[in-house]
């Protein structure tokens, strides 16, 4: 297999003597889009600055296209890498000036500048904005220009820090889908920092999950959703913590768990007597007017507490001795006649529940006791 575009080994970054980043291995394949995914403050931006060669690590090696990066290579490599800050800061001048500045930094000749400007303006639909000043643009337009000034440089490596942050839903979806298309056309190797799961799942070929300065898991979005490895990753991937309980019986991986006065069935590696936390995705919860005869093992009689709009669905908050959330369509809510106080049966398949060791029983080194 060809060497990856970028490899990182044993990287350590410290700020004021405190270790804020520690990555033992990371690789980026040519042409892929990798989402660096994690909560705020998990070290994503620092990692991005470090692989952009803008922040010197305290230790570790960075290899671009198989070659270790030394202090002399930085200026040369910086021509291949573009990193966009989270906040779209603009230079003095019009949108056109802002788009061209990076090309001027790189000493691209004038003819080529014009050609690239034409192409990028077309691709990002910016023709009408070229002679405007950044302060005259809307939030969505600014973000669009911000992205365009990275693509106009035709970099080999594109590093984006939360490029869709702070936009309202309509602009975000539009820009994300444009970005997706343009990225496919250009094939640029991309790292995208985000703390929003949908962005990562939609745009990325692979995801790297970051927690507290470490990359804790790398895989395709499907791999990470289906086998999240820990309750923290599971929660990050959009699974709700359901309930804590104690395993009463374990039979070939099928667990019978007692918690909050209910018996819950789930699959897991725990044994009888273990304390566990169960997580699930709200979209996996089924609602029914009466308990149906079905293969679904877990059915709870529940009372509706609240119904809230969420994206294009409705989020139904239920009480069945513990808190339960369900995503359902508007028409289902109408058909079931749901409203605060109404009774409903909530079902969830045993296979849709993930079981985790109770965090209170895990010591600080991450080992189960």
Partner 1 sequence: MSLGEIIQVTWLSLLVSGSAVLLAMAAGLPAAVLLYLKKFPGKRLITALVNTGMGLPPVVVGLLVAVLLWRTGPLGFLGMMYTPAAMIFAQFLIALPLVIGLSLAAFEQVDPEILLQARALGASRFQTILVLFRESRMGQLAAVIAAFGGVVSEVGAVMMVGGNLKGYTRVLTTAIVQETRTGNLRSAIYLALILLALSFLINLFLTWLQQKGARRWQGPGWK
Residue identified by tokens 């009689």 is 301
Give dist(CA 36, CA 119) in Å, integer: 29
Q: In what order do the strands lie in the sheet with 313-319?
A: 286-288, 343-348, 298-310, 313-319, 323-328
205 is written with which tokens?
């070929």
Of the two residues 104 and 258, which places its CB atom closer to partner 1 in the complex?
Answer: 104
Among residues 93, 187, 289, 340, the one that binds partner 1 under rule CB under 8 A: 93
Residue identified by tokens 């906040």 is 87
User: Is residue 160 involved in binding partner 1 (CB under 8 A)?
Assistant: no
Among residues 36, 84, 117, 242, the one that binds partner 1 under rule CB under 8 A: 84
Of the CA atoms within 13 Å of residue 233, those in its CB half-sphere come to 24
Span near partner 1 by CB under 8 A; candidates 34-42, 64-72, 85-93, 122-130: 85-93
Subset of 46-65 contacting partner 1 (CB under 8 A): 52, 54
User: Is residue 131 involved in binding partner 1 (CB under 8 A)?
Assistant: no
Please report, for residues 50, 164, 166, 190, 194, the alpha-carbon distance to residue 89 in angstroms, rounded to integers and kept in the order given. Answer: 20, 14, 14, 21, 19
Number of residues that bind partner 1 (CB under 8 A): 27
User: Is residue 28 involved in binding partner 1 (CB under 8 A)?
Assistant: no
Of the two residues 18 and 135, which places its CB atom closer to partner 1 in the complex?
Answer: 135
Min dist CB 20 to partner 1, Å, is 17
Give dist(CA 207, CA 331) in Å, integer: 34
User: Is residue 75 involved in binding partner 1 (CB under 8 A)?
Assistant: yes
Residue identified by tokens 């049966």 is 345
Span near partner 1 by CB under 8 A; candidates 23-31, 149-157, 169-177, 339-347: 149-157
User: Is residue 79 involved in binding partner 1 (CB under 8 A)?
Assistant: yes
Min dist CB 145 to partner 1, Å, is 13
Give dist(CA 189, CA 164) in Å, integer: 18
Min dist CB 75 to partner 1, Å, is 6
Among residues 24, 91, 180, 330, the one that binds partner 1 under rule CB under 8 A: 91
The number of angstroms, rounded, from the C-alpha of 56 to the middle of its chain's C-alpha atoms is 26
Of the two residues 161 and 274, which places its CB atom closer to partner 1 in the complex?
Answer: 161
**274 Cβ neighbours under 8 A, 6+ residues apart:** 246, 247, 357, 358
Min dist CB 175 to partner 1, Å, is 19
Of the two residues 92 and 369, which places its CB atom closer to partner 1 in the complex?
Answer: 92
Give dist(CA 270, CA 303) in Å, integer: 31
What torsion do the CA atoms of 32, 232, 194, 208 make, to the nearest 10 degrees?
-20
Give dist(CA 83, CA 60) in Å, integer: 21
User: Is residue 90 involved in binding partner 1 (CB under 8 A)?
Assistant: yes
Among residues 15, 89, 115, 272, the one that binds partner 1 under rule CB under 8 A: 89
**Which residues bind to partner 1, rule: CB under 8 A?**
52, 54, 75, 78-79, 81-85, 87, 89-93, 101-102, 105-106, 133-136, 149-150, 153
């Amino acid at each position: 297999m060809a060497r990856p575009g970028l490899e990182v080994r044993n990287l350590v970054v410290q700020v004021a003597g405190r270790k804020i980043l520690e990555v033992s291995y990371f690789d980026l394949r040519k042409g892929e889009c990798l989402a660096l995914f994690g909560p705020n403050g998990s070290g994503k931006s620092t990692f991005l600055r470090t692989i952009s060669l803008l922040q010197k690590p305290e230790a570790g090696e960075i290899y671009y296209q198989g070659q270790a990066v030394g202090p002399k290579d930085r200026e040369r490599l910086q021509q291949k890498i573009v990193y966009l800050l989270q906040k779209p800061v603009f230079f003095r001048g019009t949108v056109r000036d802002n788009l061209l500045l990076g090309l001027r930094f790189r000493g691209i000749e004038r003819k080529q500048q014009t050609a690239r400007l034409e192409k990028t303006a077309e691709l990002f639909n910016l023709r009408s904005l070229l002679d405007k000043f950044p302060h005259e643009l809307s939030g969505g337009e600014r973000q669009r220009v911000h992205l365009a000034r990275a693509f106009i440089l035709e970099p080999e490596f594109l590093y984006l820090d939360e490029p869709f942050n702070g936009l309202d839903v309509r602009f975000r979806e539009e820009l994300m889908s444009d970005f997706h298309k343009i990225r496919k056309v250009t094939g640029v190797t991309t790292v995208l920092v985000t703390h929003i799961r949908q962005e990562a799942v939609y745009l990325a070929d692979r995801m790297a999950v970051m927690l507290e300065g470490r990359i804790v898991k790398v895989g395709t979005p499907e791999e990470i959703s289906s086998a999240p490895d820990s309750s923290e990753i599971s929660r990050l991937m959009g699974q709700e913590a359901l309930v804590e309980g104690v395993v009463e019986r374990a039979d070939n991986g099928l667990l019978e768990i007692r918690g909050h006065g209910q018996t819950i069935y789930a699959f897991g590696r725990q044994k009888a007597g273990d304390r566990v936390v169960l997580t699930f995705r709200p979209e996996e919860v089924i609602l029914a007017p009466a308990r149906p005869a079905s293969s679904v093992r877990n059915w709870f009689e529940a009372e509706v507490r609240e119904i809230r709009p969420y994206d294009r669905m409705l989020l139904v908050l239920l009480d069945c001795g513990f808190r339960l959330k369900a995503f359902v369509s508007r028409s289902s809510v109408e058909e079931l006649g749901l409203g605060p106080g109404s009774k409903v049966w909530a079902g969830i398949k045993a296979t849709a529940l993930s079981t985790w060791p109770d965090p209170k029983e895990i010591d600080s080194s991450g080992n189960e006791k």
